[in-house]
Chain A
Amino acid sequence: MLAALAGDARAYSSLLAELTKHLRAYYARRLNGAAEDAEDLVQDTLIAMHRRRDSYDPNQPLTAWVYAIARYRLIDHYRRNKVRNAVPLEDAAELFAADEIEPAMARRDVTRLLDRLPPARAALVRATKVEGLSNAEAGERAGLSEGAVKVNVHRALKSLSAGLRKDAGAEDDA
């Protein structure tokens, strides 16, 4: 970006190409499905960034600047289109409620599943898959080598998925 501000056209076009990918993903997620609108917004945002490129402060992260502009263009898009995909107010509570319940349910399911495992293995899975530690970090905590953690987690996940499959089969039979 700094090279672009100084006038390096090649650096600028490769930066814009890179940002275009991120912007496409950003708008695709938020406009669910309106592909043409999303591409229009990507172009809109590129032009906005170009016009206001010197509002970028070199001491700030570039992504924050880009996404703030993308968000601003998105709000502008909603305003111009009077927010067509609005949800009736009566249903809105449901929409928000689901947001809170789903993660809570997922958390509960994970906890219940982990209870089926031997405690030492459950701790390893929790450390690597839930807390997001690396194998090496989890190993250090449990006093195991990195390889041992890897094998244990792998086996634990395998037995969990076998257990799940059996549950599903039992439900089908019932």
Chain B
Amino acid sequence: MRTDDLIGALADRLEPTSPRAPLREMTLWLLGGVTASVAAMLLWRGLRPDMMAAMATGMFWTKFAYTLAIGAAALWAAERLGRPGAKADRPARIVQSLIVGVVVLGAARYLTAAGDQRHLLLMGHSASLCPWNIFALSIPILIGAVMGLRRLAPTRPTVAGLAAGLAAGGLGAFVYSFSCNESAMPFVAAWYTLPVLASGALGALIGRYSLRW
């Protein structure tokens, strides 16, 4: 086929699209994933029993802000990476500084604590459960985020998948934070961050194969 003919054929088949259409569809996919994750959390774990009291504590809002900010910044990065030629440097830096910041705070709290307190600060009472729960709650969101990203055109599928995975991890941790009654910084720094990174790795793996076009 000659290139001129191809151009003619493409122009004939042109239908108007809105530049905002992909974002709308991405949002729908993501809302689907988050809804599934929230439903799973409510049915399977339930809200933390001390919800009302917890909302008066700083730690509740720290977890709230940390997880939501990672989710939002990584989503922003994923959206940028879905657009050929766009840069994702700024959101990527935000995600990095959030993680580094919380890990440093957690480490500082751990190191300044008395020796017999440390174990409790780090391990709480659910260290063997929390990362798995967060990871599980992230999976429906990861599916939604990847499906949404397929609507755009990521030219670096692995990196875009990583961003989608980190976003899903952040939002999964956000959902879980309404059910989890741990309130020590070292615990959050370790057992919230770890599944976010794991979800990012899973996203990178999935993106590598399923975000090609």
Q: Are A56 and B14 in contact (CB under 8 A)?
A: no
Q: Are B6 and A60 in contact (CB under 8 A)?
A: no
Residue among B8, B10, B17 facing the most chain A CB atoms (10 A cut-off): B10
Contact A9-B11, Cβ < 8 Å, known A39-B3, A42-B3: yes
Q: Are A9 and B84 in contact (CB under 8 A)?
A: no
Chain B residues bordering chain A, tally (CB within 8 A)? 28
Picked from B4, B7, B10, B84, the residue with its CB within 8 Å of the CB of A55 is: B84
Say if the beta carbon of A29 comes within 8 Å of chain B.
no
Contact A48-B213, Cβ < 8 Å, known A7-B16, A9-B14, A64-B85: yes
Q: What is the bound-complex CA distance between A8 and B6, given in angstroms?
A: 17
Say if the beta carbon of A58 comes within 8 Å of chain B.
yes
Q: Are A71 and B155 in contact (CB under 8 A)?
A: yes
Say if the beta carbon of A128 comes within 8 Å of chain B.
no
Q: Are B19 and A16 in contact (CB under 8 A)?
A: no
Q: Are B3 and A55 in contact (CB under 8 A)?
A: no
Contact with A along B108-130 (1 / 0, CB 8 A): 00000000000000000000000
Q: What is the bound-complex CA distance between A9 and B86, given in angstroms?
A: 26
Q: What is the bound-complex CA distance between A71 and B82, given in angstroms?
A: 15
- Which of B's residues lie within 8 Å of A, judged by CB? 1, 3-4, 6-8, 10-19, 21-22, 82-86, 152-153, 155, 212-213
25 CB contacts below 8 A, A to B, read A7-B15, A8-B14, A12-B10, A13-B7, A13-B10, A16-B7, A16-B10, A17-B4, A20-B7, A42-B3, A43-B3, A46-B6, A48-B153, A54-B18, A55-B22, A56-B83, A56-B84, A57-B83, A64-B84, A64-B85, A65-B83, A66-B84, A69-B84, A69-B155, A71-B155
- Which of A's residues lie within 8 Å of B, judged by CB? 4-10, 12-13, 16-17, 20, 39, 42-43, 46-48, 50-58, 60-61, 63-69, 71-72, 76
